C-alpha cells in the first residue's frame, strides 16, 4: 500500500505495509494548521490496484480563555483504519469512515 499526503499534513508509514486477504492497516497523521486534507491510499494485488481517498478536516480547538485567544495550534495525531477485502474477482480498499474531523 502507498499513500499520497497533501502539503500541511504529515503521516506515518502505513502499518502494516501489506495485508494478505482481509485485514486492516493504520495510518497516523498530524498537522499544526487547520484545513481540509484529502489523503489517497493505493492498494495493489498483482496487476490490480484500487485507490481510496480520505478527507481529514483539522479545526482549531476552542480557547479555554476567552480573553486571550489561542495564538499557536497544537499538533494532533490520530489513527485511521483501512479495510481491505480480497477475493477471486473483487478487490476493494475502503476507509472505515470517509470523513474524519479533528480539533488541533
Residue 91: band (very low, low, confident or very high) from pLDDT cuts 50, 70, 90: very low
CA distance 84 to 94: 7
Residue 69: the pLDDT is 57
Query: Domains of the chain: which residue ranges?
Result: 2-103
Residue 47: the pLDDT is 78
Residue 102: the pLDDT is 52
Q: Give per-residue pLDDT as tens, 66-85.
A: 666 555 555 554 555 555 55
Contact 84, 24 (CB under 8 A): yes
pLDDT at 92 over 70: no
Residue 52: the pLDDT is 74
pLDDT at 98 over 60: no
Is the pTM higher than 0.75? The answer reads: no
Q: Give per-residue pLDDT as tens, 49-72.
A: 777 777 777 777 666 666 665 555
Task: Work out the burial of residue 17: count CB atoms within 10 Å of its CB; fewer than 13 is exposed, 13-18 middle, 19 or more buried.
Answer: exposed
Beta carbons within 8 Å of 70's beta carbon, 6+ residues apart: 60, 61, 63
Amino acid at each position: 500500500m502507498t499513500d499520497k499526503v497533501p502539503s500541511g499534513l504529515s503521516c506515518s508509514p502505513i502499518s502494516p505495509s501489506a495485508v494478505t486477504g482481509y485485514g486492516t492497516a493504520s495510518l497516523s497523521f498530524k498537522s499544526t494548521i487547520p484545513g481540509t486534507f484529502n489523503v489517497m491510499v493505493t492498494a495493489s494485488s498483482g496487476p490490480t490496484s484500487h485507490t481510496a481517498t480520505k478527507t481529514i478536516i483539522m479545526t482549531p480547538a476552542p480557547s479555554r480563555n476567552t480573553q486571550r485567544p489561542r495564538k499557536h495550534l497544537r499538533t494532533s495525531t490520530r489513527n485511521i483504519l483501512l479495510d481491505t477485502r480480497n477475493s477471486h474477482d473483487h478487490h476493494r480498499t475502503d476507509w472505515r469512515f470517509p470523513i474524519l474531523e479533528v480539533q488541533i
